[in-house]
Every structure is written in structure tokens, then in C-alpha cells.
């Protein structure tokens, strides 16, 4: 799926610190914990909790956040639809990483077992 240039620019520039609290609210509202969310983020990006916190404090953009990440080699196993978009069909590499994270957070919020979310 091709994403429009205006959307890409907006998402690239969006600070991770803006989205992270929304992820926290979403998972906590569904009975999951921030620790579980952080485990999902760590699995996908390779960042530990301190590194994630540093990106939040620094106001790192989504583009820079994912540029610094060491994506898990099993990330391509993340498939399915999030926000009406099939994750595996997203053409832009940064946007696909954003959708990977969105998909993992959705799975966590929907009560999926952490072992399955982490594709282990």
C-alpha cells in the first residue's frame, strides 16, 4: 500500500513522546501494563526502557526513533490489519515499522498472550 507524501511527512515528524502516552492509555484501559508495553517496544526496536525514556525526553521523531532502532529479525512475521491497513503491504519502510508497532500494541490491548505477540 502506498502512503501519501503529506501523511508520510506528518508521521515522520511526529514525536514518539506524543504517541507513547496514547499507547500506555490504550493498553492500561484494557487491563495490560506499561511494563508489557515496554517489553513489546523492546522486542521490536531493541531499545531498553532507559533508551525509550531518552527518546521520549528528547522528543525524538518517529523517523529518527526507528532509524536508531535495531528491528527484530522476526518483525516481518507481524501481519494483519491495523487501522484498515494491511501491515505487510505498507511500502514505505518507516511507515511499515510504525504499523508494526501499532499492530503489536493492538494485539497487547486485545489480550493476546505476550509470547504470541513477540512471535516466539
**Domain containing 43 — which CATH number?**
1.10.8.290
Structural domain harbouring 25: 5-117
Contact present, 43 and 32 (Cβ < 8 Å): no
Q: What is the pLDDT of residue 2?
A: 65
Contact present, 61 and 16 (Cβ < 8 Å): yes
Q: What is the pLDDT of residue 1?
A: 59
54-105 pLDDT, tens per residue? 999 999 999 999 999 999 999 999 999 998 889 999 999 999 999 999 999 9
* Residue matched to cell numbers 511500502: 91
Contact present, 80 and 87 (Cβ < 8 Å): yes
User: Which residue from 76, 63, 67 is spatially nearest to 47, judged by alpha carbons?
Assistant: 67
3-class DSSP state of 15: strand
Q: What is the pLDDT of residue 16?
A: 96
Distance CA 99, CA 20 (A): 14
Report the number of distinct structural domains present in the chain.
1
Choice among 3-7, 12-16, 48-52, 76-80 with the minimum mean pLDDT: 3-7
Distance CA 34, CA 120 (A): 20
User: Which residue from 51, 52, 48, 25 is spatially nearest to 108, judged by alpha carbons?
Assistant: 25
Q: What is the pLDDT of residue 9?
A: 84
Q: What is the pLDDT of residue 74?
A: 95
Average pLDDT, the chain: 93
Choice among 6-15, 42-51, 96-105 with the minimum mean pLDDT: 6-15
C-alpha cell at 78: 507481524
User: Which residue from 33, 60, 30 is spatially nearest to 47, judged by alpha carbons?
Assistant: 60
Q: What is the pLDDT of residue 45?
A: 98
Amino acid at each position: 500500500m502506498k502512503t501519501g507524501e503529506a501523511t508520510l511527512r506528518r508521521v515522520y515528524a511526529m514525536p514518539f513522546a506524543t504517541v507513547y502516552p496514547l499507547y500506555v492509555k490504550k493498553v492500561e484501559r484494557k487491563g495490560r501494563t506499561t511494563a508489557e508495553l515496554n517489553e513489546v517496544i523492546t522486542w521490536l526496536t531493541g531499545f531498553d526502557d532507559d533508551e525509550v525514556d531518552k527518546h521520549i525526553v528528547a522528543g525524538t521523531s518517529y523517523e529518527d526513533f526507528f532509524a536508531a532502532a535495531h528491528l527484530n529479525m522476526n518483525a516481518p512475521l507481524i501481519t494483519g490489519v491495523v487501522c484498515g491497513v494491511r501491515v505487510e503491504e505498507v511500502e514505505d519502510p518507516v511507515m511499515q515499522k510504525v504499523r508494526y508497532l501499532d499492530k503489536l500494541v493492538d494485539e497487547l490491548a486485545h489480550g493476546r498472550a505476550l509470547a504470541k505477540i513477540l512471535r516466539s
